[in-house]
Amino acid sequence: MADLSRFPRVPLLEGPTPIQELKRLNATLGGVRIFVKRDDFTAIGGGGNKLRKLEFLLGDAKAQAADTVITVGARQSNHARLTAAACAHAGFKCELVLLRTVPREDADYVNNGNILLDDLFGATVHDLPKDGDVAGLVAQRFEALAREGRKVYFAPVGGSSAVGCLGYVSCAQEIEAQSERMGLKFANVITANGSSGTHAGLAAGFAASGRGAAFSKSYAVYYDAEKTRGITLTIARDTLKHLGSDVALAENDILVDGDHRGDGYGIPTDGMRAAVRRMASMEGLLLDPVYSGKAFAGLLRDIRAGKYRRGDNVLFLMTGGAPGLFAYRSAFA
Ligand X SMILES: *Cc1c(COP(=O)(O)O)cnc(C)c1O
| Active site (catalytic) residues | 77
Q: Report how far residue 55's alpha carbon sits from residue 113's, in angstroms, rounded to the nearest whole number.
A: 23
β-strand pairing of 188-193 with 19-21: unpaired
Q: How many helices (H) and strands (E) does the chain have?
A: 11, 10
Which residues are bridge partners to 94 per DSSP? 69
Least spacing, CB of residue 264 vs ligand X, in Å:
15
**Judging by DSSP bridges, how do beta strands 33-38 and 19-21 pair with one another?**
antiparallel
Binding segment (CB under 6 A) for ligand X, from list 7-15, 193-201, 236-244, 276-284: 193-201
Q: Which residue is nearest to ligand X, using beta carbons?
A: 321
d(CA 113, CA 153): 26
Q: From the list 158, 268, 289, 323, which residue makes contact with ligand X (rule: CB under 6 A)?
A: 158
Instruction: Pick one of 319, 323, 325, 327: the residue that binds ligand X (CB under 6 A).
Output: 319
> Under rule CB under 6 A, which residues in 257-316 are in contact with ligand X?
288, 291-292
> Could you tell me which stretch among 93-101, 194-202, 252-260, 267-275 binds ligand X (CB under 6 A)?
194-202
In the complex, what is the shortest distance from the CB of residue 158 to ligand X, in angstroms, rounded to a whole number? 4
Contact 295, 188 (CB under 8 A): no
Q: Which of 47, 48, 156, 167 binds ligand X (CB under 6 A)?
A: 48
Q: Give the x/- contact pattern for ligand X in 107-146, rule: CB under 6 A.
A: ----------------------------------------
Closest to 265 measured CA to CA, from 198, 193, 217, 329: 193
Q: Which listed residue (47, 113, 156, 197) binds ligand X by CB under 6 A?
A: 197
Nearer to ligand X, 48 or 271 (CB): 48
Q: How many residues bind ligand X (CB under 6 A)?
A: 20
Angle at 239 between CA 235 and CA 241, to 5 degrees: 115
In degrees, to the nearest 5, what angle opens at C-alpha 254 toward C-alphas 248 and 256? 170
| Candidates 26-34, 107-115, 192-200, 247-255; binding stretch for ligand X (CB under 6 A) | 192-200
CA-to-CA distance for 313 and 301, rounded, in angstroms? 15
Q: Which is nearer to ligand X, 33 or 79 (CB)?
A: 79
Task: Report the distance separating Cα 150 and Cα 146, nearest Å.
Answer: 5
Residues that bind ligand X (CB under 6 A): 48-49, 78-79, 158, 160, 192-199, 288, 291-292, 319-321
